[in-house]
Structure 1
Amino acid sequence: MMTEVRVPTLGESVTEATVATWFKKPGDSVAQDEMLCELETDKVTVEVPAPVAGTLSEIVAQEGQTVGVDALLAQISAGGEATANDAGGDDPSTPIDAGSADVKLRSEGGAESTDSGAAGGKSLDVMVPTLGESVTEATVSTWFKKVGEAFDADEMLCELETDKVSVEVPAPAAGVLTELLANEGDTVEAGGKLAVMSTDAKASASEVTGVPDTTTKPEAQAKDNDTGSGRTDIEDAPSAKKLMAEHGLSSGDVTGTGKDGRVMKEDVQKAIQGGAKPAAAAAPAPAKTSAPASADQADREERVKMTRLRQTIARRLKESQNTAAMLTTYNEVDMTEVMALRNEYKDLFLKKHGVKLGFMSFFTKACVHALNEVPEVNAEIDGTDVVYKNYVNMGIAAGTPTGLVVPVIKDADAMSFAAIEKAIAEKGAKARDGKLSMEEMQGGTFTISNGGVYGSLMSSPILNPPQSGILGMHKIQDRPMAINGEVVIRPMMYLALSYDHRIVDGKGAVTFLVRVKEALEDPRRLLMDL
């Protein structure tokens, strides 16, 4: 009996992922729920467990291949009933899953062809794969092969960038690249032509370039890698390559922990945190630029094209400003009482609940209290309707090595201090490790952003649509304050509330911030619901 392993749901608006690493190979025994492979999207890493116990008989989607939701990844046979075809042999009668077909083959006459081109030296078009729902175009980011260069089947030819993910295009058959139809930086449409290749069997990569055949036994491949001769065969994870490019690193600057030394995103993050410096010979060449005014100018500047993902982030942030009537109001809070309460009970809190008592639970509780009084800050606009939320899903912005993410604590209004702190600790750890799921970053009704951990004294946070409010926390700083006619030193924090003025009036925004201030300066109000 055969059991199919398919791509799980990746989250709202995410329709495809890249196969990063296979932890098992055909013929290996697997236990139920044991990790089979890891998929990467532009936001999260998804682990795929075995649905049943048995033997991995066939891997359909190879490492580096882009797959859609519910695409066939592999097959597991129960009881060791693996045939030659099950173990990875090619069976032309086996149907190909539509979600795993990344490249269409076309003959010179334009008709689709499934011929591998092993003989006869046919000319085939390398096509742009399906890019995902609502994605119609991509930018050619990098060509890994040049005209006249030979390659093996499934070897990576180029990488495309969309506004959501990076898509690698593998070679549909062994052969030689004869013509490039889309150069680096060109925008191509889904289904368009990228290049033309010849499937001359005599021109395989192993024969022409001396690169070891990737179909050799794993043991032999590993030996080549150990001697340093096979490193060029290993395709690093797409997200790892993008992160290395952004920081001017190469594969030689990072120690890969993936299969056969494959560099993963986490490896690059560790190298960056460890202060890795790019080798002089491996420094990335700047993208195409206009001619510099002088040699000195060229030495002092570097022009690098924004990735499509960064372009999308920039566009959406600007859309947030253009769509909402965004306004920010400020206040300040005396943190004396919260700090005293935390210092008094933090040891007992840790002993009983197994988690540290931080400031975020106080701010979360204070915001929940204020949102109950000013519900429009917790609402959103949908067309000509206002949708009021009778619950609070609190987004907590968290900084990670790859950027800012906002995990969401669902139903925070019904949680205790301990439950909130545990949720924040759990999601913070997942964020740092890149293990947050799409579901854990969706559905927020209000957001708290703490710029104070980076030393920010005051800022104006940008709304996260369709939310109507976001609270900005800042650095706690001792300042002289007038208390009962005397000047005393108090730990003060500036608070900023950015809100959508289309739905929240100035009175409501100021009232919200005052209620947060009152709750923090006298935490007993939270217990009394005052």
Structure 2
Amino acid sequence: MATEVRVPTLGESVTEATVATWFKKPGDAVAQDEMLCELETDKVTVEVPAPAAGTLSEIVAAEGETVGVDALLANITEGAAGEAPKAEAKPAAKEEAPATAPAGGGESVDVMVPTLGESVTEATVATWFKAVGDTVAADEMLCELETDKVSVEVPAPSAGTLTEILAPEGATVEASAKLAVISSGGAAAPAPAKAAEAAPAASTGKDVENAPSANKMMAEKGLTPSQVMGTGKDGRIMKEDVQKAASGAAPAPAATAPAPSAPRPPSSADDAAREERVKMTRLRQTIARRLKDSQNTAAMLTTYNEVDMTEVMALRSEYKDLFLKKHGVKLGFMSFFTKACVHALKEVPEVNAEIDGTDVVYKNFVHMGIAAGTPTGLVVPVIRDADAMSFADIEKAIAEKGARARDGKLSMAEMQGGTFTISNGGVYGSLMSSPILNPPQSGILGMHKIQDRPMAIGGQVVIRPMMYLALSYDHRIVDGKGAVTFLVRVKEALEDPRRLLMDL
């Protein structure tokens, strides 16, 4: 008996959706209410559960297709009959790998790519924490995947032995792809020997993973990890370590060189031997692509000003202890800048707008993006409705988002929908820079290092803590007058914070 899977009700005034991700493929067994796929509408993501248990026999609407309400998505064959083809297909697949066939009653469990997040369809396998033949516990972390923005940990779905890795490190996998196979029985003994035979260089006997290029070169040179001294983090073996070990292992040819004192011209081969080629992470690839797209698309221009931070620093110094005691969070500079930008955006709304084709979309709210540097690259978590938040709410949100960004725990939803961005290069010591727009936004404010400088005030030269400000903007939508006005309003609000209270 076949059961149809149809598009559910999408919400008021929503008539169509796009199939974003299928979490199952034809032939897979599904349980009732298990999530089959994810649909994207203009505003929300809709999950489609299985209406009945059985086998997914057919997918009618593939990923990327646009479907209407109640459209047919797939068919499920109910009952044991639907599982028969899958059971028959198993022996044929096992004929190719007889070493794992005599499992003695062991049951194989597939390790699949988990849900990656809204609009994310693929990921890169960053690190395997287990090798073929290793015993794993249920929910123990097996590997880590990298997407455009976040890292995803993959736990073991059951206890057993890791008998096969289908997606090695560096491989790109689609959502719901198979990563590995775990045997929950006790007869996977041949697997460790097979793994050691196939990749002797990958087993180091240490808790750290060597560079993939180093493992490859050790296999080529016939070296074992015990013969190589690792100079990387935590003793990690790098490619150059293998090269040093290989050259040291055969000193005789070098000793017979006819003219050791004669200078040898440098060659590209010598330089290549001291290089290490590392594939860019998906996050770095996305950053590179988006920044270049921003430069190619927007008519980007930057205007500069400087702000005297005396009043903000005095106010912060006077109230920081009371602020911490009452709100449980430190009073920093970012809340002042966020408030000042919100104040300026109300006066110059085109800086808080975006271009959509031939239309200009003005945002009557401020979703503030706060750029944050992480060990894996720059991310921009978004503080939603910052224009309706207090100083304490802003500081709490910045602290929480910053911690999640550093830990790689931000979701895709937390980095989408920003209308304006603040980037603080001053924390790294930058004195002046031109930030690049975060499309489709039309403005980004660059903060910089606070530095004491001599200033002429009231006919006298005095030392003041000064900061350069930079506003990069899309000149297609923001005129020079609007950009300069915005930056002046930010400067005025920071030099006299009382203006924020009076909305002046």
TM-score tier, shorter chain, comes to: 0.5 to 0.7
CA distance in 1, matches of 2:238, 2:49: 39
Rounded Cα–Cα distance in structure 1 between residues aligned with 2:178 and 2:309: 62
Deviation (angstroms), 1:245: 5.7
| Superimposed CA distance per residue, residues 254-310 of structure 1 (whole angstroms, 9 cap, x where no aligned partner) | xxxxxxxxxxxxxxxxxxxxx982425x33689xxxxx9455313332222323443
Structure 1 Cα separation of the partners of residues 310 and 171 of structure 2: 58
Deviation at 1:324, TM superposition (A): 1.1
**What is the aligned residue count?**
378
Per the alignment, in what secondary structure is the counterpart of residue 399 of structure 2?
A: helix
Query: Does the 8 Å CA contact 1:71/1:97 hold for their aligned counterparts?
Result: no
- How far the C-alpha of 1:434 sits from its partner, in A, is 3.2
Contact 1:151 1:206 in 2 (8 A): no
Alpha-carbon displacement from aligned partner over 1:483-508 (angstroms, at most 9, x marks no partner): 12221111000001011111100110
AA of the residue aligned to 1:342: R
Question: Which of residues 323, 330, 336 is equivalent to 1:349?
Answer: 323
2:349 maps to 1:375: yes
> Residue 435 of structure 1: which of 403, 409, 432 is its match?
409
Q: Quote the Cα distance in structure 2 between the aligned partners of 1:436 and 1:161.
A: 13
Q: Which residue of 1 aligns with 2:497?
A: 523
Name the residue aligned to 1:404.
378
Corresponding letter in the other structure for 1:356: K
Matched, 1:122 2:95: yes
**CA separation in 1, counterparts of 2:431 and 2:144?**
42
Report the equivalent of 1:332.
Answer: 306
State the SS of the aligned residue for 1:496. strand
Query: In the aligned structure 2, how far is the partner of 1:175 from the partner of 1:338?
Result: 58
Give the whole-Å Cα distance in 2 for the aligned partners of 1:344 and 1:450. Answer: 23
Question: Which secondary structure state, in structure 2, belongs to the residue aligned with residue 377 of structure 1?
Answer: helix
SS of residue paired to 1:489: strand
Instruction: Tell me if structure 2 keeps the 8 A contact 1:248–1:278.
Output: no
Structure 1 window deviating more from structure 2 (413-422 vs 462-471): it is 413-422
Amino acid at match of 1:397: A
Give TM-score scaled by structure 1 length. Answer: 0.56
1:133-192 Cα shifts (integer Å, max 9, x gaps): 98888889899999xx999999x9999987678899x9xxx9999xx9x99989899999
- Partners of 2:162 and 2:315 lie apart in 1 by 71
Which position in structure 1 is the counterpart of 2:465? 491
Q: Which stretch of the first structure deviates more once superposed, 355-364 or 328-337? A: 355-364
Contact 1:471–1:498 (CA under 8 A) maintained in structure 2: yes
Deviations 1:327-355 (A, max 9, x none): 11111001011111111222222223222
Measure how far apart 1:398 and its partner are.
2.2
Segments of 5+ residues of structure 1 without an aligned counterpart are: 1-11, 18-58, 61-66, 74-92, 100-111, 198-203, 213-230, 250-274, 287-291
Residue in structure 1 matched with residue 271 of structure 2 by the alignment: 297
Letter in 1 for 2:238: A
Cα distance between partner residues in 1 of 2:399 and 2:147 = 33
Equivalent in the alignment of 2:253: none
Please tell me whether residue 444 in structure 1 is matched to residue 444 in structure 2. no
Instruction: Indicate which of 420, 433, 438 corresponds to 1:459.
Output: 433
CA distance in 2, matches of 1:299, 1:311: 25
Displacement of 1:447 after TM fit? 1.0
Q: Indicate which of 210, 218, 235 corresponds to 1:279.
A: 235
Structure 1 residues 158, 361: closer, same or farther in 2, change over 3 A?
closer
Does the 8 Å CA contact 1:151/1:205 hold for their aligned counterparts?
no
- Please give the secondary structure, in 2, of the residue aligned with 1:320: helix
Q: 1:341 to 1:167 in 2, by over 3 A?
A: closer
CA distance in 2, matches of 1:460, 1:139: 32
TM-score (norm: length of structure 2): 0.58
1:209 corresponding residue in structure 2: 192
- Greater CA deviation, 302-311 or 444-453? 302-311
Paired residues for 1:90-101 under 5 Å: 95=54
- Tell me how far 1:371 sits from its aligned partner: 0.5
1:322 deviates by: 0.9
Q: One-letter code of the match for 1:122?
A: E
CA shift for structure 1 position 382:
1.2
Percent same amino acid at aligned positions? 72
**Residue 123 of structure 1: SS of its match in structure 2?**
coil
The runs of at least 4 consecutive aligned structure 1 residues that moved more than 6 Å come to 128-146, 149-154, 156-162, 164-168, 174-177, 182-195, 246-249
Q: 1:366 aligns with which of 336, 340, 350?
A: 340
Alpha-carbon contact 1:396-1:449 (below 8 Å) kept = yes
1:452 positional shift: 0.7
The AA in structure 2 aligned to 1:321 is: Q
Distance 1:207 1:296 in 2: 42
Deviations 1:459-491 (A, max 9, x none): 111111111111110100001111122211110
Alpha-carbon spacing, 1:16–1:119, altered in 2? closer, same or farther (3 Å): closer
- Kindly state the Cα deviation for residue 517 of structure 1 after the two structures are TM-superposed: 0.5
1:318 aligns with 2:289: no
In structure 2, list runs of 5 or more residues that go unmatched: 1-17, 24-29, 39-46, 59-84, 98-109, 182-186, 196-201, 216-230, 242-265
Q: Distance in 1 between matches of 2:282 and 2:500?
A: 45
Structure 1 or 2, whichever has the larger Rg, is: 2
- Contact kept, 8 Å, 2:239 with 2:276, in 1: the verdict is no
Task: Describe the SS at the equivalent of 1:209.
Answer: helix
Q: Is the Cα–Cα contact under 8 Å of residues 139 and 160 in structure 1 kept in the other structure?
A: yes
| CA 13–246 in structure 1, closer or farther in 2 if over 3 Å, else same | farther
User: What CA RMSD, in Å, does the superposition of the two structures yield over aligned residues?
Assistant: 5.7
